[in-house]
Amino acid sequence: QEQLVESGGGSVQAGGALRLSCARSGYTYLPNCMAWFRQAPGHEREWVAHIYLAGGTLRYNDSVKGRFTITRDNAKNTMFLQMSSLKPEDGGMYYCAAAAVGGACLRQPLGYARWGQGTQVTVSS
pLDDT of residue 103: 85
Dihedral, 80, 105, 43, 20 alpha carbons, nearest 10: 0
Per-residue pLDDT, 100: 81
Averages of pLDDT over runs of 10 residues in the chain (125 residues) are 96 98 94 96 96 96 98 96 98 95 89 96 97
Torsion of CA 22, 11, 70, 7, to 10 degrees: -10
